[in-house]
Amino acid sequence: MIETVLVLNAGSSSLKFQVFRVGDLDVLARGKAVRLGEPEPAMDASLADGTRERIALPPACDHDTALAAVLAFVDRHDDAWRMKAIVHRIVHGGERFVDPVVVTPEVFAALEALSPLAPLHQPHNLAAVTAARRLMGDVPNIACFDTAFHARHDALTHNFALEQALRDKGIRRYGFHGLSYQWLEMVLAEQHPRLHAGRVVAAHLGNGASLCAIQGGRSIDTTMGMTALDGLPMGTRCGALDAGAVLYMFQSLGMNAQEVSEALYERSGLLGLSGLSNDVETLLKSDDPRARFALDYFALKVAQFAASMAAAIGGIDALAFTGGIGEHAAPLRDAIVERLRFLGAFDVIVIKANEERVMALQARTCLAAEGQRQ
């Protein structure tokens, strides 16, 4: 009997999964369901021995159906596996959840209450939990949080310059992409111990994008704030914006809350700047001047925010890229690095993201702690 954990990473229209052996965290299976809720959804899956499957999903497939397809794939190839837990990436843990936790009904309700702080992510993360409980009710669900890596920031970092009454209501900076940054920190510790002990500005650049100032393996500051809308411009999100501009949208343009939310979350960023696409590869291939403007704007803002992260840790020994853009868009990396040359010499490294492995590690620790309590 092989004890395993199933790690799920649910997006708005996708569901990534990996099956890990608990003992050594070898990957036994992996895959991704895409275009959920859209025409022609499909799932690609593979086993450690190289076996691959392309699995058709029904039209307008939701997370429940996608997870059922994942479990069916696992069941078809089960080699005496015993599933110990289903592990979920949860974007927002708020002030309460700073470590992985078994999802009870009370925990689920608390996480659901945080959905307004991560409207593009939290509902889909929790939909996967709901589906897992319905399909595999006897297997515990474990939540791992994107905010947890930043949870121990000091008061100078996590506060906004607001009156105490508002800060007491949880209006503060949390930070995100923590699972990605934790993996990056672990790779640095193993492969670049000198840099790990020093000052690293980490850049998680993808459709969602942020920076993190890491010193001695700890998050000191990050560009995202209370929600995943702050900081860098992203694929469709605006990033940092004058709060007065939002008031203007309400008071002078007559926009309602839903219209403002859609504008800032879904029609801004690279898509809004270019009017063409939120996909960096598409923009890099385009000869439209609007594409070049959007990419130049992105590179400038990443460099400006990277300089502010360096200020938070007293300098920079390395700039570490990760995420889809960070790993694959070399022209953008080069443009960002060139704008930061005024900071002096620093190493530039690229680290492949692996949030799922961090989640498996956290789940193993959580299971061991639960076993000790029982």
204 contacts 224 by C-beta, under 8 angstroms: no
User: Hey, what's the torsion of the CAs at 356, 65, 134, 8, to 10 degrees?
Assistant: 0
Any idea what DSSP says for residue 50? S
Cα–Cα distance for residue pair 14/28, rounded to 1 Å? 20
Q: How many CB atoms neighbour CB 327 within 10 A?
A: 16
Beta-strand runs (E) in the chain: 2-10, 15-21, 27-34, 42-47, 52-56, 81-90, 101-102, 141-145, 199-205, 209-215, 218-222, 318-322, 347-350
- Alpha carbons within 13 A on the beta-carbon side of 190: 7
Cα–Cα distance for residue pair 367/141, rounded to 1 Å? 10
Three-class SS state of 60: coil
Any idea what DSSP says for residue 34? E
Catalytic position from the list 62, 75, 146, 221: 146
Any idea what DSSP says for residue 360? H
Is-catalytic flag, 242?
Answer: no
Secondary structure (DSSP) of 212-250: EEEETTEEEEES--SSTTSSS--SS---S--HHHHHHHH
Instruction: Mention every residue, 6+ apart, whose C-beta is less than 8 A from residue 143.
Output: 88, 90, 93, 97, 100, 101, 102, 103, 107, 111, 129
Among 295, 283, 356, smallest CA distance to 29 is for 356
List active site positions.
146
